[in-house]
């Protein structure tokens, strides 16, 4: 299949547009300041944010990183005006390519309980429910 998106890594000048895309697509939870997540993802070479453009329009994103054990993908978003035309598949393929290039062989992602409908999208591109429970704690002072 021919790719529609031109995919590249985020630059500082993209940050405002990326946050706007995340709000527009509903992928930014109200309790996570997106600026902080972006700065943290860009702190070293283990992670980055991939952006998908068509023409001069930013229409897709995927935050991607590896933690020494698995590859992870977050903030997978396609502009609502461009959804259901294969761009989600393309940005996920770019995320997987980025991880494979760094030696990862498994990729994982989290789906919020309130966003279960998106499971169909991931299943259609080969992902399976890990049937594990994800737990969290806040460890900063
Ligand atoms: C999830 C998302 C990235 C998918 O992007 P997209 O560009 O619409 O997806 P694609 O067009 O590449 O779809 C790929 C396949 O998934 C299917 N699909 C996509 N969204 C679907 C949905 N909500 N329900 C069922 N199937 C879906 C498509 O039909 C397609 O299948 P096909 O190739 O057999 O025709 C996009 O809907 C989005 O940004 N959603 C809001 C943010 C979000 O929830 N992100 C995920 C956080 S975990």
CA atoms of 52 and 58, how far apart (whole Å): 6
Q: Could you tell me if the CB of 29 is within 6 A of ligand 1?
A: no
At 123 the three-state DSSP class reads: helix
Q: Rg of the chain's alpha carbons, rounded to an integer?
A: 15
Q: Could you tell me if the CB of 114 is within 6 A of ligand 1?
A: no
User: Domain limits of the chain?
Assistant: 6-110
58 near 18, Cβ under 8 Å? Answer: yes
Q: Could you tell me if the CB of 4 is within 6 A of ligand 1?
A: no
CA atoms of 18 and 24, how far apart (whole Å): 10
Cα 141 to averaged position of ligand 1 atoms, centre (Å) = 38
Q: Give tens-digit pLDDT for 69-91.
A: 999 999 999 999 999 999 999 99
| CATH architecture assigned to 6-110 | 3-Layer(aba) Sandwich (3.40)
**Structure tokens that stand for 89 in this block:** 């598949």
Q: Give tens-digit pLDDT for 18-39.
A: 999 999 999 998 888 999 999 9
């Amino acid at each position: 299949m021919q790719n529609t998106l031109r995919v590249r890594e985020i630059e500082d000048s993209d940050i405002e547009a990326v946050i706007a895309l995340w709000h527009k697509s509903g992928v930014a939870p109200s309790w996570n300041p997106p600026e902080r997540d972006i700065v943290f993802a860009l702190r070293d070479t283990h992670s980055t944010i991939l952006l998908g453009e068509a023409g001069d329009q930013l229409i897709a994103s995927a935050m991607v990183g590896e933690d020494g054990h698995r590859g992870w993908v977050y903030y997978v978003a396609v502009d609502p005006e461009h959804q259901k035309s294969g761009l989600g598949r393309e940005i996920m393929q770019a995320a997987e390519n980025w991880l494979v290039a760094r030696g990862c062989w498994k990729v994982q992602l989290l789906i919020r309980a309130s966003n279960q409908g998106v499971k169909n999208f991931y299943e259609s591109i080969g992902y399976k429910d890990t049937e594990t429970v994800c737990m969290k704690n806040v460890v900063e002072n």
